[in-house]
Structures are given as structure tokens and as C-alpha cells.
């Protein structure tokens, strides 16, 4: 028993010390340095802007809107095809292709929207 | 006039993030104002081509990293020694006036923080940048990947390697500090 204690105590102590060091290191890394920002900094930056103004400040999402419209159209065509399924052999193939396209667009837009925020 | 006002608001919202990121990336308070101004000017110039694939914040990190890189290059050319993050006019008098246990702990923590800052500056630029963006700025792997234009896997590798190097350097430093103390006793 005493041998066990002799063997484990220094190891436990070393592990504790390492854990403590990790915690201190994380705290130090997470501590943001204090900065002194001049009160008029934003105004000064705005005053020094070059004469040419940007055409827009907010981001546009024309591409995304077009994709959503395309998805809606694909869905509408899919519904129409489903209602007429069985009347023509080509309908089944077209339905499968459109369904694949619809799923691909859904996955792509989901990945894109959650990828970089 | 309205566009300037809007941009002024945008600067006000993001200025502290830009200042603290630049301060830690460059390790110096010197020219911090100018560097921060450069970041916002680059943002202003880039706004017409900003397609909104990321938040302005993420885009700003990207610009801040670029500005810091230019500053590193400029310093290498000038071969100037960097100034410590610690403020020379810090509260020494206050610390000496209260030499209790609490003050001792504070001094110890401050010294540890200082050691981390110094070792951080000795890491490679990419490891330092990733450690700062991940720990201080709490950015995700995806955001860091976008800001630095590198794959997420590479970001993870650099983060792990940087933390390991920093930890080993601090351990080595602590061992070196203890050794003379042991020899004198």
C-alpha cells in the first residue's frame, strides 16, 4: 500500500501540475490585451476616406435568391410530374433527374449557408 | 455624407476587435493607430467587391492578418527590436504598496501572462495568428480557414502544434527559473 502511494503520488502531482499549467496557459491566451483607442478614431478614419465611395456597403444575395427560385420551380415541376406519373415512360426518368437536381441544390445551399458565417 | 456616417458606425463597432488583434499579432503598441486605420481603409476600398460570402467581421480578420504581415515585413526590413506588450508605465507603485498574498498572486499571474506573450512572439507567424484568432478572438476553424485562406485541417494542425510549442517553451522557462533557485538553497 505504501509502495503504491510512493509510486502514484508523484505521478498524480505531475499530472496535476500539467493540468494547472494548461489551465493557466489557456487563461493567458484567452485574456485579450487592453487597448487604448482614441475617442475620435472612428471619426478620423471616416474623415480620411478616399473620395471614391463604394457602390454599396451591405452585401447582396442575388445568387442565393436565384437558387431558391430555381429550387421552387424544380419542386413545382416535380409535383406536376408526380401527378402525371405513369402516363408516359419519359416522365419517370425526368422525375428522377429533377429530384436529384433538387436534392443537390438543397445540400449545396445548406453547406454554403452554414459553411462561413 | 451618409455613406461616411455608416462607415464611421462600422468602424466604431469593430475598432476594439481590430486593435486587440493587431496588438497581439504585432506584439507592439507602436503605430497601432496607423495599422488599425490601414485595416479600415483597406476594408473601405474592398467593399465594392465584397460579395457577402462571409460576415464583415470575418473579412476584417482577413484584412487585419494581411496588415500584420505587411508590418512584420516592414520590421524585418528596418530590423527593429519589438517593444514588449507590457506597459512601461504600469502600476508598479500600486503593487509595491500592497505586498500581500493577493498582490503576490497578481504579480505572478502578470509575469506568467508576460511570459506567454513573449513566447507567443517567438512562434511562427502562422501559429501565432491561429492561436490568437482561436483563443483570444474565439473564431471557429471555418472562420480562421477563411481568414487565412487555408484548409481547416491545416488550421487544426497549426493550432495543435502552436499550443504544444508554447506549452513546452513555458515549461522550459519555468524549469530554468527554478534551477538557480534550487542551486542557491
> Mean pLDDT across the stretch A96-112?
85
Please tell us whether the domain made up of B1-79 is placed in CATH 1.10.1740.10: yes
> Mean pLDDT across the stretch B158-182?
84
Q: Is A111 on the interface with B (CB under 8 A)?
A: no
- Whether the ipTM is more than 0.90: the answer is no
Q: Is A54 on the interface with B (CB under 8 A)?
A: yes
pLDDT at position B157 is 96
Q: How far is the C-alpha of A28 from the C-alpha of A40, rounded, in Å?
A: 30
Pick the CATH number of B100-185 from 1.10.3720.10, 1.10.579.10, 1.10.10.10, 3.40.50.1970: 1.10.10.10
User: Which residues from B are below 8 Å from A33, CB to CB?
Assistant: 20, 23-24, 85
Q: What is the pLDDT of residues A34-51, one digit of tens each?
A: 888 999 999 999 988 887
Question: How sure is the predictor about B19, in pLDDT bands with cuts at 50, 70 and 90?
Answer: very high
Measuring CA to CA, how many Å separate B21 from each of A43, B30, B36? 21, 14, 10
Q: A24 to chain B, minimum CA–CA distance in Å?
A: 8
pTM over 0.90: no
Q: Is the pLDDT of residue A53 over 70?
A: no
User: Which residues from B are below 8 Å from A49, CB to CB?
Assistant: 4, 7, 41, 44
Q: How far is CA B70 from the centre of its chain?
A: 15
A61 phi and psi, to 5 degrees? -130, 45
Q: What is the pLDDT of residues A75-100, one digit of tens each?
A: 888 888 888 766 676 777 788 888 88
Of B12, B53, B135, the CB nearest to A116: B53
C-alpha cell at position A30: 484567452
Q: What is the pLDDT of residues B108-158, one digit of tens each?
A: 888 888 888 889 889 999 999 999 999 999 999 999 998 899 999 999 999
Of B20, B40, B120, the CB nearest to A35: B20
Picking from A113, A80, A73, A11, the residue whose alpha carbon sits closest to that of residue B52 is A113
pLDDT at position B72 is 85
Domain boundaries, chain B: 1-79, 100-185
Q: How far is CA B42 from the centre of its chain?
A: 20
User: Which residues from A are below 8 Å from B41, CB to CB?
Assistant: 45, 48-50
> Mean pLDDT across the stretch B39-66?
84
Buried b (16+ CB within 10 A) or exposed e, B84-102: ebeeeeeeeeeeeeeeeee
Amino acid at each position: 500500500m505504501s509502495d503504491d502511494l510512493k509510486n502514484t503520488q508523484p505521478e498524480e502531482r505531475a499530472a496535476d501540475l500539467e493540468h494547472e499549467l494548461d489551465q493557466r496557459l489557456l487563461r493567458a491566451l484567452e485574456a485579450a490585451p487592453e487597448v487604448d483607442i482614441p475617442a475620435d478614431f472612428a471619426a478620423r478614419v471616416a474623415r480620411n476616406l478616399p473620395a471614391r465611395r463604394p457602390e454599396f456597403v451591405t452585401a447582396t444575395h442575388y445568387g442565393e435568391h436565384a437558387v431558391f427560385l430555381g429550387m421552387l420551380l424544380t419542386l413545382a415541376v416535380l409535383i406536376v410530374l408526380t401527378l402525371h406519373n405513369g402516363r408516359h415512360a419519359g416522365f419517370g426518368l425526368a422525375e428522377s433527374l429533377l429530384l436529384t437536381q433538387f436534392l443537390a441544390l438543397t445540400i449545396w445551399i445548406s453547406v454554403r449557408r452554414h459553411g462561413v458565417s | 455624407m451618409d455613406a461616411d456616417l455608416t462607415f464611421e458606425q462600422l468602424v466604431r463597432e469593430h475598432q476594439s476587435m481590430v486593435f486587440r488583434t493587431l496588438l497581439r499579432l504585432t506584439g507592439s503598441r507602436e503605430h497601432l493607430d496607423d495599422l488599425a486605420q490601414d485595416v479600415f481603409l483597406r476594408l473601405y476600398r474592398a467593399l465594392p467587391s465584397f460579395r457577402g460570402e462571409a460576415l464583415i467581421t470575418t473579412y476584417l480578420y482577413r484584412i487585419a492578418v494581411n496588415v500584420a504581415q505587411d508590418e512584420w515585413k516592414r520590421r524585418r526590413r528596418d530590423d527593429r527590436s519589438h517593444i514588449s506588450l507590457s506597459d512601461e508605465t504600469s502600476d508598479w507603485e500600486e503593487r509595491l504598496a500592497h505586498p500581500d498574498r493577493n498582490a503576490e498572486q497578481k504579480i505572478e499571474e502578470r509575469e506568467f501572462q508576460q511570459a506567454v506573450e513573449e513566447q507567443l512572439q517567438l512562434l511562427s507567424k502562422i501559429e501565432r495568428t491561429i492561436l490568437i484568432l482561436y483563443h483570444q478572438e474565439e473564431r471557429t476553424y471555418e472562420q480562421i480557414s477563411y481568414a487565412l485562406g487555408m484548409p481547416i485541417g491545416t488550421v487544426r494542425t497549426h493550432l495543435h502544434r502552436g499550443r504544444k510549442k508554447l506549452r513546452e517553451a513555458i515549461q522550459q522557462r519555468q524549469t530554468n527559473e527554478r534551477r538557480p533557485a534550487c542551486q542557491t538553497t
